[in-house]
Structure 1
Amino acid sequence: MFITLLDTESHRIFIWTADIFVGAGSAKPNTPPLKNGNDLRESGYLIAVGSRTSRFRRKYKKRIPFLVIIIIFILLLLAFIIISILYALAIHRKPVRTCRSRECLRSAANLALSMDLNADPCENFYQFVCGNWGSDHPRPDAYRSYDWFRDKQTKVYSIVRDFLNRNSSHQPKPVLQAKDMYRACMNTKELDKRGLKPVITILESLGLPPFPTFINVTEDFDYSAYTFDWLETVIKVKTQIGMDVLIGFDIYTDPKNSSVYRLIMGSPETTNPFPSTHTERKRHRRHFNDLKSYIKEATDFLSKMEHKSSKSDEEDEKVAEILKIFYAELMKLFVLEADGLKSSKLSEIELDQNVILAASEYFETNRDLYDLETDNTTSELESSDDAGYLIIPDYTVDEIQAHTDAVVESNNGTASPIWKKYLEGLFNISNTVLDFETDKILVSEPDLRYMSLMAAYVSKTPPVVLELYIWVKVVEVMSVHTTTELRNLFQRAYEQSHADDSVPPRSLHCANAVNDMMGMAVSYGIADRHFINVTKPKVITMIEELKDSLAHLVGQARWMDDNTKIATYQKIIEMKSLIGFPDWLLEEGKLDEYYEGIEIDSDKHLENLIKINQVKTRNVLNRFRGVNNFSWATDPTEVNAYHTFQENTITVPMVMLQHPFYDLGLDSLNYGSLGTVLGHEITHGFDNFGRQFDKNGNMLPWWSNSTIDSFVNMTQCFVDQYSSYYVPELDDHIDGKQTLGENIADNGGLREALAALKHHLKRRGPEPKLPGFEKLTPEQLFFLSYGNLWCGVSTRDSLKADLEDEHSPQQFRARGALQNSAEFARAWDCPPGSKMNPSKRCIIF
C-alpha cells in the first residue's frame, strides 16, 4: 500500500510505503511506531523526490558538456552533408533560364494570342492552337482566305513597295529599272491618258485587228471569204508576249538526263504571262520544273470561273452571264477606241447585238477548247511501266503531224501542216537551229490527244471565229494593265464571281508586278547582308540534321529492301539545297548579266511587261543546246519552299527564313515551323511521285519492285485516313488519293524535324524556357509551333478551291500528321482512343 503526501510548504511529495505480505505464512517484523516526518525520513521509508534528482544531477553533471558537444557535432555534420548535396546539385543543375529576347517575346505573344485554352489539345489540337488566330489576324477584304503564308507575302509586298518608293542612285542598273517599272505601274494618270492605244499597237504587231472582225460593223462583210492565219498569230503571241494560245510549248530538262534540255509540247500552259491583279495564294508545294505539262495551273481567272466543276447549274448559268457581259463590254470599248462606229452602217443597238453575239460565240468556243483539255486528262500513273514509273513518249515532228492528221481526217476535218511550222516560227527569234530528225519532242499521251483533237476542231472552225477567240484571249490578259476604266470592268466581273473579294491597293499590286517580273533585282535591294554569315549556316545545319533524321528513319523501315535503302541514302547525300538567295546575287556585275537585254521605260507600263517577257522567251529558246546549270526554282522573295525533282534540290527563299517561319527565338519553335517545312520538301524526293527520280534527278527505276509494292500498300492507309476527314462547311470530304503526295510529305517532315530537334538539343544542351510557357517541354513547344504554322481563316469559296488542290486544307494538314505521331500523344498525355491518339497510325517514313 502506498500513501502519497504533499508537503505544500516545501513543495515535496512523499510516498509512504506500508508493509506488504508476500506469500503465505511469511511476514516482516512489525514496523516500529513512527512519530513524525523526520522519523519517517530517518527510517528510510520516506524518500524526497527532489533529493533523488539532485543525486542524479551530481552523478551526470560532468557528462552534460560532453553530450552537448556530441549533439552540436552531429548537427554540424548534418548541415555539412545537406550543404554539400545542394552544392553538388547546383553544379550539375543550372537554374532554369527564361528567354527574354525580342524573338522569344514575339513568339510567346503570337502563340498566346492564337490559342484557345478552352479546347482540349487531345480532341481538337488545331482549335487549341489556332482557335483565336482569326480574331488576332482579321482577313483583309482582298483575300478569300488568310494564313501565315499570305500574311507574310503581303508584308513582303509592303517591304518591296517601300523599297521601290525610295530614291537611290548607287544601285545596279536592274535595281533602278525595277524602280522605274514600279513608277510606270503607279502612274495611273499616264495610263488613262494613253488609253487603249498601247494594246491596239500590240494587236497590230500580232496580226490582229483593233476589235474582232466577227462583230461585223459593216453590212456587206462576207464571212465566207475571210481568211486568217491563226497559226502565224499564235506564233507571234508566243514570241512577243510569251503566252500560249491553242498550243502549249516550253523547254525543260530531259526527264531521263537532267543535264540536257528537251522540247515539250501539249495543251496551253502559260495562259497569262503577266502579273495577276488578284494573286492567288501560293500553296506550300513541290516544284515540278520539267513536268509542268502534266499539272496545269490556269492563271486566267475568268477562264477558271467558266469551268468550276463544283458549281451548281444555277451558279454556272450566273457565272456564264457575268462573263458574257464582261466580254461584250470589253469588245465594245475597243470598237469605240478604234472609232468603229464612224465607219459602221449599223445603229448602236444593232452594234450592241453584234457585240453580245460575239461574246456568246467566244464563250462557247472557249468552253469547247477547254473541254478538249479536261476530257483527255489522266492520272499521273496511267502511263507507266510495270514498276509504276512514268513513261513520257517522244516523237519527231513528222510523227506528231502524221498522228494528228489521222485524227483530223477521222473527224471529217481538213489536215494541214502545223507543228513544224510552229517550231520554226518560234526558233526564228533565237540563235538555235532545230534538227527535226534528231530533236524529238516530249508529248504526254493526254497532250497528244489534245493536240490531235484541237487540230481537228480548228480545221472545222471558221477563221473569223478563230480570230475572235485569239483576240479575246490576248486582250483579256493585257487590258487590266491599262486604263482605270478597263481595270474597273475587270474588277466588277471578278467581284461578281467572288462576293467576298476586293481589289488590293494599287501600290501592293504594282509591288507584286515588279517582284513577279524582276524578282532577283528586288531581292538584291532588300537582301540582308548579314544573312550569309549568320542565318545561312544555321539553316544548313538544320537541313543536314533533317537529312540525317530521314536516313535514320529509312534505316528503320522494314518495307524497304537493302538495295533500295542504299540508293535512298545516296539520294539523300546528293540532295542539294539553295538557301536564301543565289550566291552570285551580291557579286558586282552579276545582276546586270542576269537581266541583260531588258530595257524599261518609266512611262510605259504594259510595254515594260512585254519587253521582259520577250527577253525571257528568247533566253529559254537559246538555252536549248546548253547544259542545265541547276538554277533557282523561284525568286528569293516568294513565301514558299520547293523541291525540284529533276535537280534533286530543295529551294528555301530568304523570306521563309524570317518570322513567322524562322527566327522564333527557340530551336523547338524553329524546328516545329521551318524544320517541318524543310522536312516536307526533303520527303518529296521519296513520296509517291518523287521516288521516280534518282539521285541525279533522272526518271529512272531505282526502287525494287518489291519495295514499290510495299510502298503502294502502305499508302492506302493515308488515302483512307485523309478521305475520312469531313468538311462540314461544304458537306464534303477530302480526296485522300489526290492529296496523297503532300500528305506523305507532311507526315515525313514532322517526324524528321522532331527527331532532328531531339538530336540538336542533346548535342547543344537544354534551351531556355519560353515566357508564359515555362511548364511546357521542348516537344510540346515543337508541336505548338507546327500547329500554329497552319493557322488561318477561310471562306466557303476558298475551301472549295482547297478541296480541288493537291494539298489538304490547313487544319487537316496539322491534324493528320499529328494523329500519326505517337510522340505527340505522349507529349500531351492524350488518353488512348482520343481523337489525337487513335489506335491506328499511318507511317511510311
Structure 2
Amino acid sequence: MPFGNDPPDYVHLRSNESQMQLITISENGDTPTPSGSPCFNAPARDEAPAVIFMPGKGTFRWWKTRTTMEKCLIPVILFFLILSVILLAVIINTDKRIEAKMVDKATETDTDTRSPPHEDPRVRPPDLDAEFTTVTPVLTTEKPQEPEVCTSPGCVRAATHFLNAMNMTVDPCEDFFEFACGLWNEQHPIPDDMFGYGTFAYAREQVRQQLRVLLEQEHTSDSESINMARSTYKSCMNKTQLDELKTEPLFETLTELGEWPLLQENWDETKFNLTHLLVDSRRDYGVDVFFQLYIYADSKNTSRNTLFIDQANLALGRGTRDYYLNVTLFSSHMTAYRKYLRKIAQLLKTDGNLTRSEKDMNADIEKIIDFEIELAKIIVAEDERRNNTRLYNKKEIADLYSLLPQVEWVTFFQSIAPADLKHLFHNQTEIIICEIEYLRQVSALIASTDKGLLTNYVLWRVVQSNVRYLDERFDDIKQDFLKVMTGQQQSAPRWKDCAQVPSTVLPLAAGAIYVQAHFQESDREEAIRMIVHLRNSFADLVRKNDWMDDETKKVAIEKANSMINNIGYPDVTNDWKQLDQQYQGLEIQESDTYYYIMKKSVVWMQSREFQKLIKPFDKHEFDISPAVVNAFYSPEKNAITFPAGILQPPFFSGTFPKAVNYGAIGAVIGHEITHGFDDQGSQYDKDGNLHNWWSESSLNAFDTRRRCIVEQYGNYTVPKTTFRVNGKLTQGENIADNGGVKEAFQAYQKYVLENGEEPRLPGLQQYTNEQIFFVSYAHFWCGKKKEAAAMQQVLTDEHSPEVFRVIGVLSNMQAFADVYKCARNSPVNPDHKCIVW
C-alpha cells in the first residue's frame, strides 16, 4: 500500500506485475518515474523570500563598528547560509536593557509584523523584565513581545518553502488547502511533459536529476551490479542504436510467438496453441493476459510462499474497466486507444514491408477492442475486492482444469518455471485462486472466440509491453495517446525515463549509488526515533478510544509494536559483495541493446521469483529501491518502508524544526502505521496472517466508523469535473491519512511537553508551531492535475485527490479547529466528524 499515487499501469515495466514486486516504471513522477533529453524541464526555482527579522536600531550601531573587511565578508557568509546580517547582529553583543527597550520600540514601529486573527503569540516570562519595571516606567505596560525566532539554516529553509507556498489572504478555516498551497499552485504551472505537478512530484524530479548525474559518471565501480545499472542507463540513452535497430527486435519477438495475425496475409491457425502462446508471453516477456500469476506469502501462513492466480488486468491498466464500459463518458478515450493501436500496427507493417490491407487490419483492431470490452465486463471492480478473505481460495492446480480448461496447467507452470523447479508443479500443487467466478467467465469468453482473435489479443499485449524499448517514433505515438488519457502535452526528455530504468531492473544497485551520494545517516536515525514516537502515539489513541474492548485494544497495540521498520536503505547497499549477490545470474553487458537488456531482466526476475517457492517468506526483505519517493506498508510482512528518496526536503530534514518534520514525514509515518488498521490491513494479525483478531463488538464499531469515512469522501466532487471520489475504493488510504495526521500531531505535542516550545519560523512568527504543523502537512500535497488525469485518478487510484487528503483529514480533527480557532460548522470545522482512530 504505497503512500503516494500510483502511476497508470500502461507505463509499467510489465503489463501485469506481481503485486509483491513493486518495481515499476511510471510517468510524470507518480512513483519511480522516467522520461527523456538533456534539457531538464526544471520546476520553478526554490528561491528564498525576504526573511528578515529586525528587532531594533542597535543593529546599525554594531555595523558601524565593523572593519571594511568584515563588512565584505559577513554578507557573503550570510548569503550562503541564507541568514540575515541584521539577525546575527542582534543576537551578538546586545545588552539586555537596551534590547528590551528596542524590542518595545520595534513593537510600536514595525508595521510589517502583523498577527492574523488566529495568532497565539508567546509572551516573554515576566521575571526577565522585572528589574526594569521600577527603573523605566514606560515598560510597566507589559506589552506582548515578539516570540523567539529560529535562525538556523534548517528553519530558514523550511520557512522559505512555506512562504513560497501559502496564500495568507485566505481564511484557513474556509479553505485550508488554498491557504497552505495557493501561492505554490499559482506559481508552479504543470510542465508540458507531465500531467500533474506538486511538491511530491517536485521531490521525485529532484531524485531523477540526481540519479541522472550519478548514472552518467564515467566511473567503473568495484560493484558489478552498479556497473550494470550504469550500462542499463547508457543503453536506454543510446538513441543512435535504437534508430538503427528500429523494430527489428520486436519482429524477432513476433516470430518467436508465431507471428501476429493482424499483420499477416495468410496466418496459419493450425499452429495455434493457447497454452504455448501464454507460456512464451509470460516466460520471455513477463506478460500475463487472461489471468495474473504471482508468488508471494501465503496469506494464512506467512512463513511460506505460494502460488496465486488472479484476474487479468486490461491493456489500459488496473482499475480501468470504466473506460471500456461507459461509452458516454469515455468515447474519446477509447477512440485514442484505437488510434494508438492502429498507429503502432501501421508502423510495424511499414517497417516489415508487409502487404496486408489497411481495411483488414482495421477490422481486426475493432475486433480486439470489442473483445477487450467483453473482458472488461467480467473483471471484478477494484472497490469490490477489499475483502481479502473472499479472495483467499486455497485449491490445487488440478482444480484449474475445471475452471479454465483451455489451458494445460501443469505444462504451463512447468514451462515458465526454472528447469530445476519443474518438479514442484503437478496436479496436487497448492495454489490460491483470488477470483474463481472470473476464471469460469473468462473460460466461456475464450471458448466463444476464434483462434485468430485470441492470438491477436495476446500478441497485442506483448507488443504494447515492448514498444517502449524501441526508437522514438513509438514515443511520439504514445504521446498522442497520453494527451487524451492524462492531458500530458508533450513527451518528457528521454533521460527522465532512462534515469529510472536502473531503479526498476536493479533497484538496490541504483539505490546504493543514490544513498551514498545524497543520504545522511543522521536523517535515518532521526526517522527511526520518530517512528518510535509515532508508534507510541498510535498506542495512546487505541487506549483512549471508547469503542474497542480491552482485549482487542491489547492485540492492536501488540500488532503496532511488532511492525518491522525499513528505513532509508537495506544494509546490503553498503556491502558491494552482498549487493552483487542480489543480482547473481543477471549479466548485463555494455554492448547489450536496450531491448535485450529489458528482456533479459524480465526473465531473470521471474526466475528469482520462482526460487522463492523453496524458501521461507522473508518478512525483512527491503525490496524497494532506496531512490523511490514514496512509502509503503505490507500487511503480510506487517512492515513499514520509508526509502531514502522520501526522507528529504521539503518533507523532512534533520535540520528542520520538529513541527515541520512531524507535520510532513511524521504524518507519512503515521499513515503507514495506520494502514495496519484500515479496512484491509485490519484483516491481518501481527504476524501478517489473514486472521480475525477482533471481538465482534469492536469489529462492528470499527465498521460503523469505516462507513462514515466512505460516505464523507464519497460526497467530495473533484474540482473542474462532475466526478465524485470513490469513497469505497479510497477508504483504506483515507483511514490511513486521518489516523496518520492525528498520531503525528499528538506525538509532536508530547515532544513539546517533554522538551519545551520550539522557536518559531522566521517570517512566519505570527503563526504558532502547532499551526505550522498543519501547514507542513498540507504542503506535502500542494499541486494540481490536468482534468483528464484527475478523472483517471478517481477511476483507478485508491488515493483521494490531493485537495481532499488535506480538507478531508483536517475537517475531522477537532485539534485543527482549536489551533486555528475555527468557528463551529465552518467549512473545515463541520459539526459532524468521522473518526476511526
Q: TM-score, structure 2 length as denominator?
A: 0.79
Distance in structure 2 (CA, Å) of the matches to 1:676 and 1:426: 43
Q: Which amino acid aligns with 2:251?
A: I
Distance in structure 2 (CA, Å) of the matches to 1:587 and 1:302: 37
Partner of 1:335: 349
Sort the Cα spacing of 1:383 and 1:539 in 2 relative to 1 into closer, same or farther, 3 A.
closer
8 Å contact from structure 1 (residues 791, 810) kept in 2: yes
8 Å contact from structure 1 (residues 305, 497) kept in 2: no
8 Å contact from structure 1 (residues 302, 323) kept in 2: no
Q: Residue 664 of structure 2 aligns to a residue in which SS?
A: helix
Partner of 1:505: 493
Distance in structure 1 (CA, Å) of the matches to 2:242 and 2:378: 38
Distance in structure 1 (CA, Å) of the matches to 2:264 and 2:543: 72
Distance in structure 2 (CA, Å) of the matches to 1:258 and 1:615: 24
Partner of 2:273: 229
Distance in structure 2 (CA, Å) of the matches to 1:427 and 1:770: 58
Q: Residue 252 of structure 1 aligns to a residue in which SS?
A: strand
8 Å contact from structure 1 (residues 683, 749) kept in 2: yes
1:245 counterpart = 2:289: yes
Q: Deviations over 1:303-340 (max 9, x none)?
A: 98785269653741x44443334333322333333343
Could you tell me how far 1:617 is from its partner in structure 2?
Answer: 0.2
Partner of 2:362: 356
Q: Which amino acid aligns with 2:328?
A: D
8 Å contact from structure 2 (residues 738, 809) kept in 1: yes
Sort the Cα spacing of 1:129 and 1:197 in 2 relative to 1 into closer, same or farther, 3 A.
same
Partner of 1:658: 648
Sort the Cα spacing of 1:499 and 1:523 in 2 relative to 1 into closer, same or farther, 3 A.
closer
The equivalent position to 2:338 in structure 1, one of 321, 324, 348, is: 324
Sort the Cα spacing of 1:227 and 1:636 in 2 relative to 1 into closer, same or farther, 3 A.
same
8 Å contact from structure 2 (residues 811, 830) kept in 1: yes
Partner of 2:480: 492
Q: Residue 728 of structure 2 aligns to a residue in which SS?
A: coil
Sort the Cα spacing of 1:504 and 1:451 in 2 relative to 1 into closer, same or farther, 3 A.
same
Q: Which amino acid aligns with 1:606?
A: Y
Distance in structure 1 (CA, Å) of the matches to 2:391 and 2:570: 33
8 Å contact from structure 2 (residues 633, 673) kept in 1: yes
8 Å contact from structure 1 (residues 430, 622) kept in 2: no
Structure 1 unaligned residues grouped into runs of 5+? 1-78, 88-92, 270-297, 342-349, 385-389, 406-415
Distance in structure 1 (CA, Å) of the matches to 2:747 and 2:580: 40
Sort the Cα spacing of 1:602 and 1:833 in 2 relative to 1 into closer, same or farther, 3 A.
same
Partner of 1:208: 258
The equivalent position to 2:687 in structure 1, one of 688, 696, 699, is: 696
Could you tell me how far 1:204 is from its partner in structure 2?
Answer: 2.8
Sort the Cα spacing of 1:304 and 1:539 in 2 relative to 1 into closer, same or farther, 3 A.
closer
Over alpha carbons, which structure has the higher Rg?
1
Q: Deviations over 1:695-720 (max 9, x none)?
A: 11111111111110111122232233
Q: Which amino acid aligns with 1:208?
A: G
Could you tell me how far 1:101 is from its partner in structure 2?
Answer: 2.6
Could you tell me how far 1:428 is from its partner in structure 2?
Answer: 4.7
Q: Which amino acid aligns with 2:258?
A: L
Could you tell me how far 1:435 is from its partner in structure 2?
Answer: 5.1
Could you tell me how far 1:152 is from its partner in structure 2?
Answer: 1.1
The equivalent position to 1:436 in structure 2, one of 387, 404, 426, is: 426
Distance in structure 2 (CA, Å) of the matches to 1:156 and 1:544: 27
Sort the Cα spacing of 1:419 and 1:174 in 2 relative to 1 into closer, same or farther, 3 A.
same
Partner of 2:762: 771
Partner of 2:307: 263
Q: Which amino acid aligns with 2:384?
A: S
Distance in structure 2 (CA, Å) of the matches to 1:85 and 1:597: 80
8 Å contact from structure 2 (residues 323, 334) kept in 1: no
Question: Quick check: 477-486 or 332-341, which moved more?
Answer: 332-341
Sort the Cα spacing of 1:213 and 1:813 in 2 relative to 1 into closer, same or farther, 3 A.
closer
Sort the Cα spacing of 1:819 and 1:309 in 2 relative to 1 into closer, same or farther, 3 A.
farther
Distance in structure 2 (CA, Å) of the matches to 1:199 and 1:249: 24
Could you tell me how far 1:738 is from its partner in structure 2?
Answer: 2.6
Sort the Cα spacing of 1:477 and 1:594 in 2 relative to 1 into closer, same or farther, 3 A.
same
1:619-768 superposed matches below 5 A: 619-630=608-619, 631-663=621-653, 665-768=656-759
Q: Residue 132 of structure 1 aligns to a residue in which SS?
A: helix
8 Å contact from structure 1 (residues 235, 425) kept in 2: yes
Partner of 2:373: 367
Question: Quick check: 98-107 or 591-600, which moved more?
Answer: 98-107
8 Å contact from structure 2 (residues 659, 772) kept in 1: yes
Report the aligned-residue RMSD.
2.8
Q: Which amino acid aligns with 2:799?
A: H
1:122-137 superposed matches below 5 A: 122-137=173-188
The equivalent position to 2:818 in structure 1, one of 823, 826, 837, is: 826
1:506-655 superposed matches below 5 A: 506-528=494-516, 531=519, 533-603=521-591, 604-630=593-619, 631-655=621-645
The equivalent position to 2:213 in structure 1, one of 125, 144, 162, is: 162
Give the percent of matched residue pairs that are identical in Structure 1 and Structure 2.
26
Q: Deviations over 1:465-494 (max 9, x none)?
A: 222222221112212211232332333333
Could you tell me how far 1:94 is from its partner in structure 2?
Answer: 13
Sort the Cα spacing of 1:340 and 1:835 in 2 relative to 1 into closer, same or farther, 3 A.
closer
Q: TM-score, structure 1 length as denominator?
A: 0.78
Partner of 1:392: 392
Partner of 1:217: 265
Distance in structure 1 (CA, Å) of the matches to 2:234 and 2:829: 56
Distance in structure 1 (CA, Å) of the matches to 2:167 and 2:376: 45
Partner of 1:14: none
8 Å contact from structure 2 (residues 484, 788) kept in 1: no
Question: Quick check: 422-431 or 800-809, which moved more?
Answer: 422-431
Q: Residue 576 of structure 2 aligns to a residue in which SS?
A: coil
Distance in structure 2 (CA, Å) of the matches to 1:809 and 1:81: 51
Sort the Cα spacing of 1:641 and 1:808 in 2 relative to 1 into closer, same or farther, 3 A.
same
Sort the Cα spacing of 1:304 and 1:605 in 2 relative to 1 into closer, same or farther, 3 A.
farther
Structure 2 unaligned residues grouped into runs of 5+? 1-126, 136-143
Distance in structure 2 (CA, Å) of the matches to 1:86 and 1:826: 38
Sort the Cα spacing of 1:125 and 1:550 in 2 relative to 1 into closer, same or farther, 3 A.
same
8 Å contact from structure 1 (residues 723, 733) kept in 2: yes
Sort the Cα spacing of 1:82 and 1:315 in 2 relative to 1 into closer, same or farther, 3 A.
closer
8 Å contact from structure 2 (residues 397, 428) kept in 1: no
8 Å contact from structure 2 (residues 342, 362) kept in 1: yes
Q: Which amino acid aligns with 1:327?
A: L
8 Å contact from structure 2 (residues 734, 799) kept in 1: yes
Q: Deviations over 1:555-587 (max 9, x none)?
A: 111111111011112111111110000012111
8 Å contact from structure 1 (residues 242, 614) kept in 2: yes
Q: Deviations over 1:649-707 (max 9, x none)?
A: 10001011110110162100000000001101101111111111111111111111111
Q: Deviations over 1:101-154 (max 9, x none)?
A: 322212212211211111111111111111111233221112221122211111
Partner of 1:810: 802
Q: Which amino acid aligns with 1:739?
A: T
Distance in structure 1 (CA, Å) of the matches to 2:445 and 2:170: 58
Could you tell me how far 1:785 is from its partner in structure 2?
Answer: 0.6
Distance in structure 1 (CA, Å) of the matches to 2:399 and 2:128: 95
Q: Residue 469 of structure 2 aligns to a residue in which SS?
A: coil
Q: Residue 416 of structure 2 aligns to a residue in which SS?
A: helix
Could you tell me how far 1:85 is from its partner in structure 2?
Answer: 9.4
Partner of 1:61: none
Distance in structure 2 (CA, Å) of the matches to 1:521 and 1:734: 38
Partner of 2:72: none
Sort the Cα spacing of 1:359 and 1:494 in 2 relative to 1 into closer, same or farther, 3 A.
same
Could you tell me how far 1:788 is from its partner in structure 2?
Answer: 1.3
Q: Deviations over 1:761-791 (max 9, x none)?
A: 2222322221011232221110111111111
8 Å contact from structure 2 (residues 282, 416) kept in 1: yes
